[in-house]
Amino acid sequence: MLILECPCCGVRAEESELAPGGEAHLKRFGAGASDEDFEAYMFARKNPKGVHFERWRHAHGCGKWFLAARDTATLEVFGTYPAQTKAPPAELIAAIKAKRPHWEGYE
């Protein structure tokens, strides 16, 4: 069972209270972007077995979007943080590296 703490309202929500929103921190390209950049933005998604950064919405709670870092294989949650964050917080990265020394890191 996946349980994530919503950073907006502080509620620890079970997966059925949440709506997944896909990969977090997608790099968007504006007008004039190359076809390759636009294709990567539209279609290319990471699907790692291990640490992954995702968007979630507290659909049956406060309704707000937030981001989460978790292990897709074990469902271990490393942390959640506000959706307005452009990159994972440094302390979250440090916590992940402490638990997963061989993790290649966030790009």
Residue ranges that bind Zn ion, judged by CB under 5 A: 6, 8-9, 58, 61-62
Beta carbon nearer to Zn ion, 7 or 50: 7
Beta carbon nearer to Zn ion, 51 or 66: 66
* DSSP per-residue string spanning the chain: --EEE-TTT--EEEGGG-EEEEESSPPP--TT--HHHHHHHHH-----SSEEEEEEE-TTTT--EEEEEEETTT--EEEEEETT-SS--HHHHHHHHHH-TT-----
Give the shortest CB-89-to-Zn ion separation in angstroms.
18
Beta carbon nearer to Zn ion, 6 or 92: 6
